[in-house]
Amino acid sequence: MELPYKEYDESEYIETDTGNKVSKKATIIGSHNIVLAGKTIIESGCVLRGDLRRRGPGNQTSFLIGRYCVLSKNTLFKPPCKIFKGVFGYFPMKISDHVFVGENSIVEAASIGSYVYIGKNCIIGRFAIIKDCVYIEDNSVISPNTVISSFSYVSGGPPAKIVESLPENTQETFETRSKDYYIKFIPK
Amino acid sequence: MPEKVSISSTSLVCSSVNIVGEVTIGPGCVIQPKASIIAEGGPINIGSNNIISEQVTICNKKVSGKVMNIGNGNVFESRSSIECMGIGHNNVIQTAASVIGSFELGNNCVIGVRNRVNHDIEDGTVVFGDNDSKRARKDDIQTHVSTLNTHLEYLRDLL
């Protein structure tokens, strides 16, 4: 399927050296704890809580986001929290490459693999683990601590269930799609 | 900021929180960014040790004209919306849930992800699933209180 060209206001977006396009209207808190690998698009109204990180010294990143990801409008990303060994803490969220998150979704997952499509108005519960090549339909609600295996098509909820499996060419399809999205995301 | 807003010195209100009208916030609360508390119908009194997460809307509707009281130890998770007459103690309102209507929510209730409540429910009810099913809450309230306290402590330290 051909994606349409998407035009944005050049003054609204900041483009970094590695090709990330971040909207100035996005609320990014604790940006020093967020790692963007490159060519990621963060659209307006997006909220990233980078300030909620693990306590203590050492590795303190709260978001690791890969290449060619799209965080659409009004999405909310919050690292998951729990009591671990008697200490309360927030844990880092890892998002791999070619991940698309649709509008108004709320993500509190522990990790999201590569080639994942999350639709609009989805809620991904705390510490959910989403493996590679997963399609999550619009309006799905994934319960906390769920593990979704590769090549799953997830829908419904709460709680969402795996309805069918995806074909083997999912990786190529999602990769072309996300690259296409990035190339066609152009200034006016 | 209007002079009608009174915030206790031990509570923590992040920047980019939207507060409109007569709002009183008790001790030990944490209000995270992008939350909005709108008291257009009447004042809102928030008790102690509540966590109000991102994009939560607490609204005292124009029609009510009464005081909206929120008790102690409640957790409002991301993007939930509250438009009822009042809330008791130790409730958990999970992500994107909504409590809307002219009634008061009791104590110890759990409103699950994206569930809606628009009528009176008993104390200690859990609303869950895709049909807003209900059951009694069986877990110990002390676990909730201790988790909440550690969470609050952590947030106060961090933010």
Distances (CA, A) of B44 to A20, B28, B105: 42, 16, 15
Q: What is the ipTM of this complex?
A: 0.84
- The reply to whether A1 falls in a domain is no
Q: Is residue A62 part of a domain?
A: yes
- Comparing C-alpha atoms, which of B132, B138, B129 is closest to residue B119? B132
**Parent domain of A65:** 6-187
Q: 10-residue block means of pLDDT along chain B (159 residues)?
A: 75 87 89 89 88 90 78 90 89 89 87 87 86 82 82 80
Contacts of B147 in chain A (CB under 8 A): 83, 88
Chain A contact set for B79 (CB, 8 A): 76, 106
Contact B16, A25 (CB under 8 A): no
Does A34 fall in a domain?
yes
Residues 6+ apart with CB under 8 A from B144: B73, B90, B92
Cβ of A141 within 8 Å of Cβ of B113? The answer is yes
Kindly report, residue by residue over A134-165, the tens digit of the pLDDT.
999 999 999 889 999 999 999 987 788 899 99
Measured on CA atoms in the order A45, B97, B149, B107, is the torsion positive or negative?
positive
Is residue A16 predicted with pLDDT exceeding 70? yes
Helix/strand/coil (H, E, C) string of B49-117? CCEECCCCEEEECCCCCCCEEECCCCEECCCCEEECCEECCCCEECCCCEEECCCEECCCCEECCCCEE
- Residue A100: CATH number of its domain: 2.160.10.10
Nearest to A27 among B34, B112, B153 (CB): B34
Residue in A31, A53, A78 to test binding to B, most B beta-carbons within 10 Å = A78
> Coil, strand or helix: which one is B149?
helix
Q: Which of B103, B51, B98 is nearest to B74 (CA)?
A: B51
pTM, two decimal places: 0.88
Domain tally, chain A: 1
The full set of domains in chain B, from first to last, is 4-158 (2.160.10.10)
